[in-house]
Chains A and B, each alone.
Chain A
Amino acid sequence: MRRSQAALAFLGIAAVALGLASCGSSSGSTSGKEGGTLHGTYAAFPDALDPALARTVEAWTAMYDTYLPLLTYAHENGQAGSKVVPALAESLPKISGDGKTYTLTLRKGLKYSDGTPVKASDFAASVERMFKLNSGGSPFYTGIVGAEKFAETKSGGIPGIKTNDKTGQIAIQLTRPRGTFTSELALMYVALLPADTPAKNLTADPPPATGPYEIVKSEPGRGWSYDRNPQWDKANGNLIESVPGGHLDKIDIKVVSNPSTQVNEVERGSSDWMQTTLPTDLYNGVKEKYEGSQFRVEPTISNYFFWMNTTKPPFDDLKVRQAVNYALNGAAMERIYAGTLKANQQVLPPGMPGFEKFELYPHDMTKAKKLIAEANPSDRDVTVWVDDENPNNEAAAYYQGVLKKLGFNAKLKEIAAEDFFPLIGNQSTPDLDTGWLDWYEDYPHPNDFFQPLLSGESILPQENSNFAQIDDPKLNAKIAQLEEEPLGPKQEAEYADLDREYMEQAPWAPYGSRTVSTFVSDAVDLEDVVFNPTFGQDLASFQLK
């Protein structure tokens, strides 16, 4: 072809290439329109809109597309969403032969939403900030050399993290091998923030973002809003292929405490999405009417249970804890959750590697009462803690009734959902006898259900997550040993044994695993909505029709 024609052809090809490149950072769906505002609702304000502190699915859903760690979980549905992929790092970590050194390289040219360049040293600062805040995620990272000492002293830095801002290299030295560490580098706790981010809860004034959306307004208790991160299209979006760029221009989330009202709003179209799982009385009706078009059931790997404080009476007595397990009726719990719960009496939920079904405590009230008579606890005043979300509070009311049948003077304490975890995680809160909890997988590794919830090292004065406060050296050692090994069939079998061993100690009365739901208005294309098993609905996948 003549030169001018070749030049035009080249320009045309370049234009197409540029167009394809900008499309590469979006979810790639062409079924809906770009732009617009999504109006969503939550039943309660998240526990924190600070990545270092947030511990709930609700908060992680809110921040999945805002704060990015070095690695992230693939923005995919189901099992594919459990795969760890690079985010701010160029690639997955290089792990040394002894399993103790992880080396990553920060992508060049990344910026926070306020225009500040992202530096490798921001990772060290973000991890230190997490420890300074006594984050509930700290136990995942105490294996870094110097981290335990830093967690106590809050000064002196963490010598196990070495960074080079010029090359972008980040080297993390562990005290011992840790098979789960790659997964843990993808958790929200270690999302990068500017090094000068204050070590205080920034829920009311969220820090700058690295993801496709930034939180531009936060009114704790009432709602928050996102705009597109201006640095995403200019810089980050072109570098991070694993994170979609989002279709919407704005996302407004408001707190609507009544789930029935949330359903009404979605049905009427005044709201486009409700994060809350449908209330039990409306679940089956909505499912029947909207399944496939606006409603979808999402399986989860989760555990719902009642923890019992093993350090104080009456639950310091094994017989009492076992009695509670015998007394709790899984069939009643399934009914309270209106078919969204599958009864399970183990630490590991179905679907988690290492799960092998067993039933140590089939429902038997007679046996339960016999065990209580044998234990004859002198202290029968117990407080049951629960958040105020339905039907968890009903489950706890049922549990209170069970405890009363066993002869306890059980008092129910319902706490606002946004205050629940901080309150029961603070050991200075009086009367922490027993209470409700749910735990959704952070990553597809059984350690996620043992180490943060049942290991002695997870008992913290604040932001505690081992609510049963069980600290069995033999079981702790087994957790530590299995943590070091890559997960294979042998390790899965050992986790199954560990599950049984813990349930023989009965620090919990687990009662089931739950499905959640995605319910959107007619304006939203349901097919596009991605549900990640760790982070929930992916806001960057939402698209208006």
Chain B
Amino acid sequence: MDEGSQPSAAGTAQGGAGPWSVALRRLRRNRLALASLALFGLIVLLSLVAPLWAVHVAHTGPNTTHTLAKVVVNGEKREVVDPTGKPTGPLWLGAGGRFLLGADGSLGRDEMVRLMYGGRASLFIGLIAALLTTSMGAVLGLLAGYFRGWPDTLISRTLDVIWAFPVLLLAIALGLVLAVGGLQIGPVTIPSGSIWIPIMVISVVFVTYTARPLRGEVLSLREKEFVEAAVAQGAGSVRVMFRELLPNLWSTIIVFFTINVANSMLLESALSFLGVGVQPPDASWGTMIASGSNLIKSAPLLTILPGAMILLTVLSLNVLGDALRDALDPRSKLRLEVHAGLAEPEGTPV
């Protein structure tokens, strides 16, 4: 058996192809997964081209105000914000792409530009927080599951304390404390208002949701013969954990990562909406929902658009995560179906 490959009956049946190739093939056959991947890719692309749109099309930045400005729409001058404070609605291509989706309130900021920059912030926070969560969760799960004894007790009880708090409440409490004073750990200082504050908060509150399941898998894997063999050959703990156990966890880690991105983005939106995530006037989809909610009656698009972006992003990531899980470990789908009473367990006589 190749080092680093996960045993898979279906993989063996493919006649010698590696498990990753097999998984890729399964994924390519899943049209829903491909559509989700394409959708997510489109959202990422939209966010990446935000500076290009801002400079070359909208000719404005995400925080630039246009309260008294006028824009030419189909040859006529129109106020971006009227004297009663009402912002212009979507101009579509009437002003050459400027204020495509309208202005965001009495400050007259370009809604399309903010939506794109908001996506950059939300995606950046979601991806980095998920990376940190998954990495920390993997390390903690490995340590706890491999060593057992007091390291396991220490790590597991700490995770239990975090687990005991409702995620949103814990995140709000941490966010509130750090929003004013920032964070200082030794030589590392993160000023208040930095995008790294919500990243740190989200990483911490979600780590337990990754570490505990991975710990369970490690507990199971460490009893396998290949681990015994490695130990018998004189492999130290670090080598066993990172060269023997970790490769067998990659598929699980990858699936967790995609789900963590989705959850992190949702939590970021909630924190930003509540004023303890991304700080105004910077745009994230959460802050845009918060500021748009003040205009929900007169300009509902200002709330609907960022909400829709969050919905589409999270949906595509969740579908992708499911598809990855099915591709990497088809038996997990079967186990779920058995558990739900939708299929017979493996080995049941027909």
- Which residues of A are interface residues toward B (Cβ below 8 A)? 258-260, 263-264, 279-285, 329, 331-332, 334-339, 388, 390-391, 393-394, 397-398, 400-401, 411-416, 423, 429-430
Distance to closest chain B CB from A496 (angstroms): 30
Is B280 part of the binding interface, using a Cβ–Cβ cutoff of 8 Å?
A: yes
Name the residue of chain A whose CB is nearest to the CB of B84.
Answer: A284
The listed residue (A281, A335, A339, A430) touching B298 by CB distance below 8 A is A281
The listed residue (B63, B67, B83, B297) touching A260 by CB distance below 8 A is B297
B272-290 contact mask (Cβ, 8 Å, vs A): 1 or 0: 0001000111000000000
Distance to closest chain A CB from B280 (angstroms): 5
Question: Is the Cβ of B294 less than 8 Å from the Cβ of A390?
Answer: yes
Name the residue of chain A whose CB is nearest to the CB of B67.
Answer: A332
Question: Is the Cβ of A411 less than 8 Å from the Cβ of B106?
Answer: no
Name the residue of chain B whose CB is nearest to the CB of A389.
Answer: B294
11 new A-B contacts, CB < 8 A, other than A260-B294, A411-B193, A413-B279, are A264-B297, A284-B84, A334-B83, A335-B68, A335-B85, A394-B107, A397-B281, A398-B67, A400-B281, A414-B279, A414-B280
Question: Is the Cβ of A412 less than 8 Å from the Cβ of B67?
Answer: no
**Chain B binding surface, main DSSP class:** loop
Question: Is the Cβ of B68 less than 8 Å from the Cβ of A332?
Answer: yes
Question: Is the Cβ of B85 less than 8 Å from the Cβ of A338?
Answer: yes
Q: List 16 A-B contacts (CB under 8 A).
A: A258-B293, A259-B294, A281-B85, A281-B299, A284-B84, A331-B68, A335-B81, A335-B83, A336-B107, A337-B85, A338-B85, A411-B193, A412-B280, A413-B180, A413-B279, A415-B180
Q: Evaluate whether A280 and B67 lie within 8 angstroms (CB atoms) in the complex, with A390-B294, A414-B279 already known.
A: no
Distance to closest chain B CB from A348 (angstroms): 26
Q: Evaluate whether A283 and B281 lie within 8 angstroms (CB atoms) in the complex, with A260-B296, A260-B297 already known.
A: no
| Chain B residues in 8 Å Cβ range of A414 | 275, 279-280
Question: Is the Cβ of B295 less than 8 Å from the Cβ of A281?
Answer: yes
Most buried by A among B68, B81, B281: B281
Distance to closest chain B CB from A215 (angstroms): 26
Distance to closest chain A CB from B181 (angstroms): 7
Q: How far is the CA of A329 from the CA of B69 in the complex (A)?
A: 12
The listed residue (B64, B106, B193) touching A335 by CB distance below 8 A is B106
Q: How far is the CA of A400 from the CA of B279 in the complex (A)?
A: 13
| Chain B residues in 8 Å Cβ range of A411 | 193, 279
Q: Evaluate whether A416 and B281 lie within 8 angstroms (CB atoms) in the complex, with A337-B85, A339-B84, A411-B193 already known.
A: no
Q: Evaluate whether A338 and B106 lie within 8 angstroms (CB atoms) in the complex, with A332-B68, A401-B63 already known.
A: yes
Q: How far is the CA of A391 from the CA of B106 in the complex (A)?
A: 9
| Chain A residues in 8 Å Cβ range of B64 | 401
Question: Is the Cβ of A335 less than 8 Å from the Cβ of B67?
Answer: yes
Name the residue of chain A whose CB is nearest to the CB of B192.
Answer: A413
Q: How far is the CA of A411 from the CA of B282 in the complex (A)?
A: 10
Question: Is the Cβ of A412 less than 8 Å from the Cβ of B68?
Answer: no
Distance to closest chain A CB from B191 (angstroms): 8
| Chain B residues in 8 Å Cβ range of A260 | 293-297
B interface residues, how many (CB within 8 angstroms): 28
- Which residues of B are interface residues toward A (Cβ below 8 A)? 63-65, 67-68, 81, 83-86, 105-107, 180-181, 192-193, 275, 279-281, 293-299
Name the residue of chain B whose CB is nearest to the CB of A263.
Answer: B297
Name the residue of chain B whose CB is nearest to the CB of A338.
Answer: B85
Question: Is the Cβ of A280 less than 8 Å from the Cβ of B106?
Answer: yes
| Chain B residues in 8 Å Cβ range of A279 | 294-295
Q: How far is the CA of A430 from the CA of B67 in the complex (A)?
A: 31
| Chain B residues in 8 Å Cβ range of A401 | 63-65
Q: How many inter-chain contacts with C-beta < 8 Å in the A-B complex? A: 94
| Chain A residues in 8 Å Cβ range of B296 | 260
Question: Is the Cβ of A398 less than 8 Å from the Cβ of B65?
Answer: yes
Name the residue of chain A whose CB is nearest to the CB of B69.
Answer: A332
Q: How far is the CA of A430 from the CA of B182 in the complex (A)?
A: 11
Distance to closest chain B CB from A243 (angstroms): 37
Q: How far is the CA of A391 from the CA of B275 in the complex (A)?
A: 15
Q: How far is the CA of A268 from the CA of B279 in the complex (A)?
A: 34
Question: Is the Cβ of A329 less than 8 Å from the Cβ of B192?
Answer: no
Question: Is the Cβ of A423 less than 8 Å from the Cβ of B180?
Answer: yes
The listed residue (B68, B86, B192, B275) touching A281 by CB distance below 8 A is B86
Question: Is the Cβ of B180 less than 8 Å from the Cβ of A397?
Answer: no
Question: Is the Cβ of A412 less than 8 Å from the Cβ of B106?
Answer: no
Question: Is the Cβ of B280 less than 8 Å from the Cβ of A329?
Answer: no
Question: Is the Cβ of A329 less than 8 Å from the Cβ of B294?
Answer: no
Question: Is the Cβ of A282 less than 8 Å from the Cβ of B297?
Answer: yes
Question: Is the Cβ of B67 less than 8 Å from the Cβ of A336?
Answer: yes
Question: Is the Cβ of B279 less than 8 Å from the Cβ of A412?
Answer: yes
Distance to closest chain B CB from A268 (angstroms): 13
| Chain B residues in 8 Å Cβ range of A281 | 85-86, 105-106, 294-295, 297-299
Name the residue of chain B whose CB is nearest to the CB of A402.
Answer: B65
Most buried by B among A260, A329, A331: A260
Q: How far is the CA of A279 from the CA of B298 in the complex (A)?
A: 11
Q: Which 8 A-B pairs have the closest CB atoms?
A: A338-B85, A280-B85, A332-B67, A397-B281, A281-B298, A336-B106, A281-B295, A284-B84
The listed residue (B67, B86, B105, B294) touching A258 by CB distance below 8 A is B294
Distance to closest chain B CB from A403 (angstroms): 12
Name the residue of chain B whose CB is nearest to the CB of A383.
Answer: B193
Distance to closest chain B CB from A182 (angstroms): 40
Distance to closest chain B CB from A393 (angstroms): 7
Name the residue of chain A whose CB is nearest to the CB of B191.
Answer: A411
Distance to closest chain B CB from A109 (angstroms): 48
Q: How far is the CA of A432 from the CA of B133 in the complex (A)?
A: 35
Question: Is the Cβ of B105 less than 8 Å from the Cβ of A394?
Answer: yes
Distance to closest chain B CB from A80 (angstroms): 32
Distance to closest chain B CB from A338 (angstroms): 3
Distance to closest chain B CB from A261 (angstroms): 9
Most buried by A among B107, B192, B299: B107
| Chain A residues in 8 Å Cβ range of B68 | 329, 331-332, 335
| Chain A residues in 8 Å Cβ range of B299 | 281
Q: How far is the CA of A398 from the CA of B67 in the complex (A)?
A: 9
| Chain A residues in 8 Å Cβ range of B280 | 393, 397, 412, 414
| Chain A residues in 8 Å Cβ range of B298 | 281-282, 285
| Chain A residues in 8 Å Cβ range of B63 | 397, 400-401
Question: Is the Cβ of A388 less than 8 Å from the Cβ of B275?
Answer: yes
Most buried by B among A281, A285, A331: A281
| Chain B residues in 8 Å Cβ range of A394 | 105-107
| Chain A residues in 8 Å Cβ range of B294 | 258-260, 279, 281, 390
Name the residue of chain B whose CB is nearest to the CB of A282.
Answer: B297
Question: Is the Cβ of B65 less than 8 Å from the Cβ of A397?
Answer: yes
Distance to closest chain A CB from B292 (angstroms): 10
Question: Is the Cβ of B85 less than 8 Å from the Cβ of A397?
Answer: no
| Chain A residues in 8 Å Cβ range of B65 | 332, 397-398, 401
Name the residue of chain A whose CB is nearest to the CB of B276.
Answer: A416
The listed residue (B192, B275, B293) touching A416 by CB distance below 8 A is B275
Q: How far is the CA of A87 from the CA of B298 in the complex (A)?
A: 46
Distance to closest chain B CB from A435 (angstroms): 13
| Chain B residues in 8 Å Cβ range of A413 | 180, 192-193, 279
Distance to closest chain A CB from B334 (angstroms): 47
| Chain B residues in 8 Å Cβ range of A331 | 68
Distance to closest chain A CB from B82 (angstroms): 8
Q: How far is the CA of A394 from the CA of B68 in the complex (A)?
A: 14
Name the residue of chain B whose CB is nearest to the CB of A411.
Answer: B193
| Chain A residues in 8 Å Cβ range of B105 | 281, 394
Distance to closest chain B CB from A77 (angstroms): 26
Distance to closest chain A CB from B178 (angstroms): 13
